[in-house]
Amino acid sequence: MKLQDKVTFITGAGAGAGKAIAEAFAAEGAKVILGDINEKTLGATVKELQEKGCEASGIKMDVSKEEDWLKACNFISEKYGILNTLVSNAGILLEKKLVDTTFEEWNRVISINLSAGFLAAKHLYPVLKASGNASIIYTVSDASEMGFPDYSAYGASKCGLKGLAKYIAAEFVHDNIRVNTVHPGYIDTPMMRAACGGVDSIQGMDLYKNPLGRILKPEEVANTMVFLASDDATNIDGSAIVMDGGGSSFVAVSVLDER
């Protein structure tokens, strides 16, 4: 097993891609701590993992609140003393024109998608450093690689998170804490289905934006993160792995060709 006995904390782990990440890490032998704002889905996922014989625990938390990160740090410190991997995955999506976006909506997206990344690294730094060889993985988005209408707040938060991760990587490198980002395109999750109006709509959008012509599975994102957390990736630091079938690289050319 690639992650045997490695202590891992995953936010947004109650459902969707976060749940798949937790399952993948646990399957590789990690001791997983799940954080989520939804106590019901969080409890159900923790129970599922425990019933499979995995070491799993849960923390109800709002990633935009500093006191909840302090609570998470205390929990991890008291239970394990160290943290080998942090997967900062929790996030929200806002599809709205810039001129119609309220300042309150803007601040909410930034606080959950970007500021939480700062709080995570700041407060979990001591337990990450104590492990002697740690990894931070941020779930970003291919929205940080391009620009398109109606997602200004979301795109700005993800662009900021991508940049923040590089600076944290530079600052933490001498503590043997690697920091990398994963940038998925459309993932077949309940949140994305709801945002796109159903599975048929999300598949249609992905065919447009993803030259490989298929929707991304949560398990694919999870497996990439397992790799980044493992000893197979000990020389990968400050990197961004984009998982959108080439969409952010050359979809613009395809669109122009269709004109």
Give the active site residues.
154
Q: Which two tokens stand for residue 26?
A: 């646990």
Number of residues assigned to the chain? 259
In angstroms, the CA 117 to CA 134 distance is: 16
Residue 136 belongs to what H/E stretch? strand 134-139
Q: Which residue has the tokens 């993985």?
A: 137
Burial of residue 115 (CB within 10 Å: 0-12, 13-18, 19+) is buried
For 94, list phi and psi in degrees, rounded to 5: -130, 115
Closest CA to 162 of 91, 213, 83: 91
In angstroms, the CA 97 to CA 19 distance is: 30
Q: Which two tokens stand for residue 81?
A: 């003393």
Residue 88 near residue 38, CB atoms below 8 Å: no
Residue 181: Cβ within 10 Å count: 27
Q: Which two tokens stand for residue 77?
A: 């410190």
Residue 137 near residue 182, CB atoms below 8 Å: yes
In angstroms, the CA 60 to CA 51 distance is: 20
Closest CA to 69 of 37, 108, 107, 101: 37
